Structure 1
């Protein structure tokens, strides 16, 4: 299939998939002629990319046109929709086109239906940091691909140290591969601890510190996350997700709902058994406190997206969030 649509917020996995497409289709000797990456935020840029993709490649190998950060699966004019369909139907057999986007395609949009008809659609989303079992499974799968045997306690240590950071997981597994060589024995947690910075501090622990109004711990965790190259917007996104979940739990409780499955459905929690623990977490918190916190986080997201200093902006928000939990 000559059309690909990759979406999700795991930039590392998307970039790895793109690299695989380039390696498989583009002759390195003809790359300057047959590979193009276009920031396709607007209709004109998408049109330009479609025109390039419709051109047969030069020399040997195939052509690959990458339209990055596109919004065609969210909104698409009728003119662009017609151009997409015309291009998809008449792409040269040795020309490939790739669209990438952060947001999930809108299933109601005509363009999404067109993409689903002609393209191979793949999701590359980060595993939510609270889905420990899913992260552990990713660690196991990634280790197996690299022919690494890791003990159960070693897997647990990597999950705690790395969280849902797929880029760092790949880097740490490569490090372990070099260290372990061709040894038959599985790598233990003790061995891993000597090579991997086993910092269990993550954005969920930061959310816990905020919930407890522990300002000094929240600031310390924020500083450590930034030192470990965690992106401010990703920290913010995790906090937004956690606070929103707490808010749903609290609102359902205040409405008199007692059934955990009903609460799980409303809060979009996959495992209803998790609701019991979430109820313990929101004890002592009112929906008003959580709504104030969510407002602060949405302001933080806007400030970060507008390019404000990441460290100072996050520090200010952490103080405000802890204060909101005490009012």
Structure 2
């Protein structure tokens, strides 16, 4: 396969995948001759990419043309589509075309359909912040790859600290790896707390404070999250996911379901053991309160997407949510 299409929100994972392709295709001595990166703001970037990929490589190794942040699978003019149809089937074996995008390809477009015939598509999604078991797995896998030994508790702490930010995870693990160099002991939570900076507040803690109706704590956590440059829409996405999970679990329990596996499947929770803890979390909140919270969160999401003042909108809705969960 000489054409690759990488897409998704995890830009760091995409960067690593691009680096792997680059290292595999290019000869280091001939990189400057055979490696071309075409940014999205370049006029006729797709046409240039297709022309470049048809040019034989110089010297040793292959040729790699990277069409970065492309919108070919969201919109495509007729002349670019014609070039795709003409060029993709005849790309030389030692030339490689790499396309990346943060957006999901539109399966209805002719450009997507023709690329599907000749390209290897791979998605790089971000793990939803509320899926803690997947975040823990991600930390475990990344630590093993980098050779960092962590205790189970420190894995959980690191997952809570970095969330689904894979770039931050890699940076923090590199720091921990250097700290532990020459030692065979697994790093405990004390070491992680000392070295990992982002161990303060996250959106799940904000959800927990809202659930208990603690307006002062929720407002303080929100301020910390915003100061840490967490995107507001990501905060809202986490809150919506967490409140939906709580609602599903509460509904199932109140309907008499006691099987953790059945509840976990309905709530899309990977680890049924979490149901025990979720049950405890929602003991003091009613189904009606959880249902009433979702329209507020969805309204907040719409407001942010329409350009509302981020901090003001978040603060207002967090206070409103706390009042709902307090029953006032």
Give the TM-score normalised by the residue count of structure 1: 0.78
Q: Contact (CA 8 Å) 1:42, 1:70: kept in 2 or not?
A: no
In the TM superposition, residue 9 of structure 1 has moved relative to its aligned partner by 0.7
For residues 155-174 of structure 1, the aligned pairs below 5 Å read 155-174=155-174
The superposition leaves residues 267-320 of structure 1 with CA deviations (integer Å, 9 ceiling, x where unpaired) of 7x355957894893663426455223312222213428xxxxxxxx43212222
The worse-fitting range, judged by mean Cα deviation, of 291-300 and 57-66 is: 57-66
1:44-55 pair list within 5 angstroms:
44-55=44-55
1:87-98 alignment runs, 5 A limit:
87-98=87-98
1:295 to 295, 299, 318: 299
Please say if 1:20 is aligned against 2:20.
yes
Q: CA deviation at 1:79?
A: 4.9
Alignment of 1:31-46 (within 5 A): 31-40=31-40, 44-46=44-46
Say if 2:138 is the partner of 1:134: no
Distance across 1 between alignment mates of 2:113 and 2:200: 42
1: distance between equivalents of 2:161 and 2:310?
22
1:208-240 Cα offsets, whole Å, 9 max, x none, are 334555443333223322444434443344345
* Number of positions where the alignment pairs a residue of Structure 1 with one of Structure 2: 315
Distance 1:102 1:248, change over 3 A: farther
- Matching residue of 2:320: 324
CA offset digits 1:51-107 (Å, max 9, x no partner): 222222344433222222223334545654443232221112222111112233344
Aligned pairs for 1:279-294 within 5 A: 280=282, 283-285=287-289, 287=291, 289-294=293-298
1:46 deviates by 2.3
Deviation at 1:127, TM superposition (A): 1.1
What's the secondary structure of 1:5's corresponding residue? strand
- The answer (yes or no) to whether the contact 1:76–1:111 under 8 Å persists in 2 is yes
1:176 aligns with 2:180: no
Give yes or no for contact 2:219–2:318 (8 Å, CA) kept in 1: no
Aligned residues of 1:239 and 1:297 also touching (Cα < 8 A): no
- Structure 2 partner of 1:99: 99
C-alpha distance in structure 1 between counterparts of 2:265 and 2:47, whole Å: 41
CA RMSD of aligned residues (A): 3.7
Distance 1:72 1:182, change over 3 A: same
Q: Partner residue of 1:152?
A: 152
| 2-structure distance, mates of 1:211, 1:43 | 50
Counterpart pick for 2:310 among 284, 307, 314:
314
Question: Which range moves more in the overlay, 39-48 or 132-141?
Answer: 39-48
- CA distances 1:123-167 after superposition (whole Å, capped 9, x unpaired): 211111222222222212111112222222221222222222211
User: Following superposition, which runs of at least 4 residues in structure 1 exceed 6 angstroms of deviation?
Assistant: 256-267
Contact between 1:215 and 1:319, CA under 8 Å: does it hold in 2? no
Q: TM-score, normalised by structure 2?
A: 0.78
Q: What does residue 235 of structure 1 align with? A: 235
Change (3 A) 1:32 1:175: same
Consecutive unaligned residues in structure 2, runs of 5 or more: none
